[in-house]
Amino acid sequence: MNITQEKQIAIKAAKKAGKMLLKKFITHNRANVRLKSKHEIVTPADLASEKIILSAIKKHFPEHNILSEEVGKTGNQKSGYLWLIDPLDGTTNFSMGNPLFSIAIALAENNQIILGLIYVPFLDELYLAEKNKPATLNNKKIKVSSEHKIADAFLTFCHGNTQPAMQQAINIYKKLKLQARDLRQIGSASIEMAWVARAKTEAIIIPGVPPWDVAAGSLLVRQAGGICTDLNGREWNLNSHGIIASNKRISDCLIRTVKNIK
């Protein structure tokens, strides 16, 4: 499939939304934060970014389905195309004044990710992946690291917003913090998956993650030579409830370790 138009529209929308997010980042007031749940917040910036991206997709691809973090699922249920959008990945970072936040846009055809885009406005970094093509950062090819020992690996982790997912993440931290070179929570799953793809880290582990958080990153990691599985080692898909995205060389050892952590 030729997805040149889809890619161009996604890039344009992400950069437009990113420019707006940077402006709102400077003037953001935590008093405007709204709780979606005990551990999950939404800001006016989330909604404004989502509006920009949804408007662009609906205008150019009105027959496509869309699954977005704030709005949920909309569109033509008979369509085989699904856009997955996280308009502000790292909302808590954004609200705290931490500039490590991103925009993630993915396109799936019949539940297979064929386009993945991650844009980091503060760094002006555009990560892009298409099925069967090399992953890129600002148009330059990237690839995962060749590190093969967990003891020498830099790992990150995140979690969904349910109590079981958080508890599992805490248990993973307790175990792997002592085994790896380091294990940290950065606060934007998309950025952390991009870091795996460009060899800044070796893996990210996320229990209970929704698909819009990792759909774009999953293709990016795979097209950079890595691998994405669920927490039991099965190939990650849009129905998976957790993900391990890694450089492939530490994958088997990492999966065995995580499977034994409850």
pLDDT tens column, 231-257: 999 999 999 999 999 999 999 999 999
Same domain, 129 and 163: no
Token pair for 108:
């799936």
pLDDT at 76: 72
pTM of the model: 0.95
Same domain, 30 and 137: yes
Give every CB contact of residue 229 below 8 A, 6+ residues apart in sequence.
235, 236, 243, 244, 251, 255
What is the rounded average pLDDT of the residues 41-59? 95
pLDDT at 1: 62
Same domain, 73 and 99: yes
Same domain, 116 and 192: no
Same domain, 198 and 114: no
Which residue ranges are tagged as binding site?
Answer: 69, 86, 88-89, 213
- Structural domain ending residue among the three candidates 141, 167, 192: 141
Query: CB of 237 within 8 A of CB of 219?
Result: no
Which residue ranges are tagged as binding site for Mg(2+)?
Answer: 69, 86, 88-89, 213
Domain of residue 227, CATH code? 3.40.190.80
Separation CA 67–CA 250 (nearest Å) = 32
With cut-offs at 50, 70 and 90, classify the pLDDT of residue 183.
very high
Separation CA 172–CA 163 (nearest Å) = 14
Same domain, 22 and 126: yes
Same domain, 176 and 240: yes
What is the rounded average pLDDT of the residues 67-80? 83
pLDDT tens column, 4-32: 999 999 999 999 999 999 999 999 888 77
Same domain, 15 and 108: yes
Residue 155 backbone phi and psi in degrees, to 5: -120, 155
Looking at the predicted structure, is the pLDDT value of residue 39 above 90? no
Q: b/e per residue, 83-118, with b = 16+ CB within 10 A?
A: bbbbbbbbbebbbeeeebbbbbbbbbeeeebbbbbb
Separation CA 64–CA 58 (nearest Å) = 8
Same domain, 12 and 130: yes
- Structural domain ending residue among the three candidates 101, 124, 141: 141
State the total domains in the chain. Answer: 2
Domain of residue 17, CATH code? 3.30.540.10
Same domain, 99 and 185: no
Same domain, 199 and 74: no
What is the rounded average pLDDT of the residues 25-42? 82
Same domain, 184 and 134: no
> Which domain, by its residues, includes 78?
4-141
